[in-house]
Amino acid sequence: MIQPSLVAFGLVALYPLGTAFFFAFYMLVTRQLASGMHPVTMQLHTSLAGMVITLPALALFDGSGIGPLDPVLPEGLEWLWLFGVGFWAAVSHMCMTYALKFAPSATLAPLHYLEIVVAVALGYLVFGDFPNALTWAGTAVIVASGLCIIHRERATARGAMPLEAAR
């Protein structure tokens, strides 16, 4: 499902897989911390951790001559775009933290399938790109595995209910 392939781009093509792994890890950690920490405080800590990770890289690559890694100071309207991205990322992560505070991950997982629908729609509308058969097959595997997990979680929850509550 990951395209472009390893043949075309080498190991860089595995970045989406790494991103998915670390996002899942982030969700698990957020779920554990959500019950004891306010979402705004958690967002502050997440932002500070991101800053601690990125500032040394910015300093290291400043003036390095390595095009994609050499930081460029934004100008004009780019500041507004950067603010918008940061603002909406913070809002969305706080919403995710609130959601994980009140509902189990298995209940919220189907909402992530909406990302697939939006990605397909934007890919088609913006780039005129429609997924091929391999992408649809991968999407079917992802959705089917998610539905199996949801079914298993609900069956497990029903089995854990006391007999009197089940009647």
Q: Which domain holds residue 128?
A: 104-167
Please check whether residues 58 and 124 belong to one and the same domain: no
Return the pLDDT at 156: 80
Please check whether residues 97 and 41 belong to one and the same domain: yes
Name the token pair of 145.
């595995």
| pLDDT class of 33 with cuts at 50, 70, 90 | confident
What are the pLDDT digits (tens) for 41-58? Answer: 888 888 899 899 989 988
Largest CA distance in the chain: 70
What are the pLDDT digits (tens) for 8-30? Answer: 777 887 887 888 888 888 888 88
Return the pLDDT at 5: 67
CB 141 within 8 A of CB 133: no
> Which of these three, 49, 67, 102, is where a domain ends?
102
**Per-residue pLDDT averaged across 82-108, rounded?**
85
Domain count, the chain: 2
> Which of these three, 54, 81, 102, is where a domain ends?
102
Please check whether residues 161 and 145 belong to one and the same domain: yes
Please check whether residues 28 and 92 belong to one and the same domain: yes
Please check whether residues 2 and 58 belong to one and the same domain: yes
Please check whether residues 76 and 118 belong to one and the same domain: no
Please check whether residues 41 and 93 belong to one and the same domain: yes
Residue 70 has pLDDT above 70, yes or no: yes
Please check whether residues 22 and 87 belong to one and the same domain: yes
Other C-beta atoms within 10 Å of 151: how many? 11
CB 136 within 8 A of CB 116: no
